[in-house]
């Protein structure tokens, strides 16, 4: 048997962002919420890749795109273990873990159909909380209903 290691080589990006350490089950959700399924930019992604830290992971590389704080907040809500790596001229210029914000405004819809944000032109506002099982939830500022991470609907 040949002991040579086989490795899939994915092109390095010259300029852009790599989102690494995404939970494998969340990769397609991240692609959707960031609108990467409708972009003209070059996008590479991998799912169920080996990870020493997490078992499996996903990765997304986007050429010529750097994320605004609103986009980073979206990533943090669905992939809190994600790392953002900015690349310029093939070199890593910054690397940081996403941080779950304390408050979210205007990016997630309240799941309560009777909430004022679903009846009038009022921007959504949530406080990020953790329940007794350490699960992330969003508490609506207006109707005080809690939305679980599984029920998040991005605007």
Same domain, 32 and 73: yes
Handedness of CA 116, 120, 122, 126 (dihedral sign): positive
Distances (CA, A) of 78 to 7, 40, 85, 118, 135: 29, 24, 18, 22, 12
Comparing 100 with 7, which gets the higher pLDDT? 100
Same domain, 51 and 76: yes
What was the pLDDT predicted at 118? 95
Task: Give exposure, 21-39, as e/b (b: 16+ Cβ within 10 Å).
Answer: bbbbebbebbbebbebeee
Query: Quick check: helix, strand or coil at residue 22?
Result: strand
Same domain, 67 and 112: no
Structural domain count, the chain: 2
Same domain, 90 and 43: yes
Q: What CATH code is carried by the domain that includes residue 108?
A: 2.30.30.20
Same domain, 36 and 107: no
- Give tens-digit pLDDT for 72-91: 999 999 999 999 999 999 99
Tell me how far the alpha carbon of residue 24 is from its chain's centroid.
Answer: 12
What was the pLDDT predicted at 5? 58
- Give tens-digit pLDDT for 37-79: 999 999 999 999 888 888 889 999 999 999 999 899 999 999 9
Task: Note down the domain range covering 78.
Answer: 16-97
pTM of the model: 0.82
What was the pLDDT predicted at 1? 46
Same domain, 90 and 111: no
Same domain, 90 and 108: no
Q: What CATH code is carried by the domain that includes residue 44?
A: 3.30.70.140
Same domain, 24 and 90: yes
Same domain, 90 and 144: no
Beta bridge partners of 50: 56
What was the pLDDT predicted at 8? 55
- Give tens-digit pLDDT for 1-21: 445 555 555 678 999 999 999
Asked if 136 contacts 92 with a C-beta cutoff of 8 angstroms, the reply is no
Same domain, 27 and 84: yes
């Amino acid at each position: 048997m040949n002991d040579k290691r086989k490795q899939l080589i994915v092109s390095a990006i010259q300029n852009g962002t790599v989102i690494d350490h995404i939970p494998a089950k969340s990769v397609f959700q991240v692609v959707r919420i960031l609108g990467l399924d409708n972009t003209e930019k070059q996008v590479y992604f991998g799912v169920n890749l080996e990870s020493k830290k997490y078992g499996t992971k996903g990765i997304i590389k986007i050429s010529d795109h750097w994320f605004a704080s609103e986009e980073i907040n979206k990533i943090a809500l669905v992939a809190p273990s994600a790392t953002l790596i900015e690349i310029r001229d093939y070199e890593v210029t910054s690397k940081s873990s996403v941080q779950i914000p304390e408050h979210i405004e205007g990016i997630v819809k309240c799941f309560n159909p009777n909430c004022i944000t679903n009846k009038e032109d009022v921007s959504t506002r949530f406080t990020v909380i953790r329940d007794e099982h350490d699960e992330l939830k969003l508490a609506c500022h207006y109707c005080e209903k809690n939305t679980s991470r599984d029920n998040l609907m991005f605007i």
